[in-house]
Chain A
Amino acid sequence: MTDTPLISLRSATFGYADRTVVEGVTLTQGPGEVIALLGPNGSGKSTLVKGLLGLSDHLGGEVVLFGTPLARFREKPRIGYVPQRHSLSSSVRATVREVVEVGRLPLRPFWRPSGSEDARAVDEALDAVGLRDREREDVATLSGGQQRRVLIARALAAGPDLLVMDEPTAGVDAANQAVLAEVLSGLAARGTSMLIVTHELAALRDVVTRIVCMDAGHVDFDGAPTAWASGHRGHEAGDAHHHPSPTEAGHSPGLAGIVTDTLPTREVRP
């Protein structure tokens, strides 16, 4: 592994057409880091990660991916995207394996059929999320948590250097959240770098190595989970509680933090 940062943002601004959603974000992610991107609804978390993927517009500042400026970045499969989907059920039948095989397509020209290397990568991705035994099931018959793992496997199949996940645990029941957390910690143990947009840090507490907190289109906390736990818990369940700086370490958790920890999982829709 080299020391080139996977992501390097300097005063980056993202949005849609001429509407700015995220402004002046400076952020660097190194290899092996697992960052949880927290913040209330509408704080710009999704817009930020979509900007990295070319799904929202880059409006200003500097964005460098794997040492290449975003505008010239062509190795898109190096970033594995796990979109926010509450259901994979579609209008046609598709097996788990067929959906995961999609992850391999960007790596080969359209005239080349899939080979043994593709099959091996798909096997490995299915093993990593524990769905090899259900590879021939119709994805629409799986539970929400299992479908989320199918999407993770699809992203893993391309062998990405960075996994970007949008709310992987949203709308997933507790038992399946535990399985998901297990899958993610397995990936982290293998050295997979991840950028995880989430509202539910509790489920991912043991996986995350760094926390970035956003509010109103700006980053208002960036540091270790321990520092965040002592002063910034209010963001977890998406309230608009705003802390002006990350220097308040040593604070006891606020009332909001205690209350939100006991709340059941909430579905979050954009």
Chain B
Amino acid sequence: MSDLLSLDFMRQALVAAVLVGLAAPLVGAFLVQRRMSLIGDGIGHVALAGVAIGILTGSMPVFTALVAAVAAAVGVELIRAAGRTSGDIALAVMFYGGIALGVVLISKSSATSPGNLTGYLFGAILTTSRTDIAVFAALAVVVVAVTWALRHRFFAVANDEEFARAAGMPVMGYNIALSVLTAVTVVVSMRVVGLLLITALMIIPNATAQLVSRSFRSSLLAASVIGILSSVGGVVLSFYAETPSGGTIVLLAIATFLVTSVLTGVVARARRAAHERAERHDHEHGPACGHPAIEHDGHVDYLHDGHRHAPHRDHYDEHDGHTHESGADGPGGQQTEEVAR
């Protein structure tokens, strides 16, 4: 590892990997929530046209790609807001028009080779210039900060747009903000994972996080951690295995997903076998049900005909199933605290 860190370009690559690994899943969580997982891919297509224009005109491809991607992002939201049935087709025209234009323009440029195109499509962090990395790093920090600050609002709007609008929240503004953040993330990530692969890093860590989390908050944190580990791990691995960084990162993220889903499947089966449902009754326990509430270990049990009911999902479990300190002497024992509610 120390030989790795002694290389100047490798240090840069790892900083870029951490930032991209954090930003992509953070923004991607809300895309997953809105069921727009693949929108980043479409925006990436349009960004390629921006890259091509940059190369052809001799200006910074990063800048032109950013302009094209942000324009596409705003376009996506405007088309969605119009709510026409032809909106889907409008998106297809925009996305494939973007990538087709990009390929045609790049072929007309004398300064580039096919290898250069591959670098943008699939990532080539080790050949990225120092100034480009500085620009990417600054943009990634902005994306992470803005997304983190607005995370509750993005959650609210994606969870129930109608309610958010009725409550007076600027729904359209938040949707456009999220779309623009997606566009910036795509461009920032294009040298690390590439325009065609970045969506995988936005979505797959979130898919893994859904398997291990019980709340949105914890799934956001888990996705960020998994994203950073896949991204950094992929860059290191690609250095030793001499493989392209983008593909390596995505394969690592997919492997994490597969291993996690097998493990959580086994655990869920074991848990299901261990937990016992209480008998069904017509009423719901609560302050007014007449059954004494027992608060302990962060949850509430209800004393029901001599045994305890613990709320679980939409039903109640028999509490005897699992063990804890005060459970040994049964309901009504010394240690259990009956709470007047």
A residues in contact with B162, CB < 8 Å: 55, 81, 83
B residues in contact with A130, CB < 8 Å: 284, 286-288
A-B contact count (CB 8 A): 114
- Mark each residue of chain A from 67 to 100: 1 if its CB lies under 8 Å from any CB of chain B, else 0: 0000000101101010101000011111100110
A residues in contact with B288, CB < 8 Å: 130, 182
Bound-complex Cα distance A33 to B293 (A)? 34
Bound-complex Cα distance A137 to B316 (A)? 12
Interface size class of A (residues with CB under 8 A): 35 or more
Bound-complex Cα distance A95 to B299 (A)? 15
Q: Which of B149, B166, B210 contacts A79 (CB 8 A)?
A: B166
B residues in contact with A133, CB < 8 Å: 285-286, 293, 299-300, 311
CB proximity to A under 8 Å, residues B33-54: 33-35
Bound-complex Cα distance A55 to B160 (A)? 13
Task: Verify if B304 is at the interface (C-beta below 8 Å from A).
Answer: no
Which among A90, A91, A136, A137 has the greatest number of chain B C-beta atoms within 10 A?
A91
Known: A76-B168, A98-B215. A110 touches B150 (CB 8 A): yes
- Mark each residue of chain A from 146 to 164: 1 if its CB lies under 8 Å from any CB of chain B, else 0: 1000010010001000000
| Pairwise interchain contact A93-B169, C-beta atoms closer than 8 A | no
Interface size, chain B (Cβ < 8 Å): 44
| Pairwise interchain contact B314-A143, C-beta atoms closer than 8 A | yes
Q: Which of B152, B168, B218, B312 contacts A74 (CB 8 A)?
A: B168
A residues in contact with B34, CB < 8 Å: 91
| Pairwise interchain contact A105-B169, C-beta atoms closer than 8 A | yes
Task: Verify if B84 is at the interface (C-beta below 8 Å from A).
Answer: no
| Pairwise interchain contact B33-A95, C-beta atoms closer than 8 A | no
Known: A54-B165, A106-B169, A141-B313. A94 touches B299 (CB 8 A): no
Bound-complex Cα distance A127 to B285 (A)? 12
| Pairwise interchain contact B214-A101, C-beta atoms closer than 8 A | no
Task: Verify if B283 is at the interface (C-beta below 8 Å from A).
Answer: yes
Enumerate chain B interface residues (CB-CB to A < 8 A).
29, 32-35, 149-150, 152-153, 155-156, 159-160, 162-169, 206, 210, 213-219, 282-288, 293, 299-300, 311-314
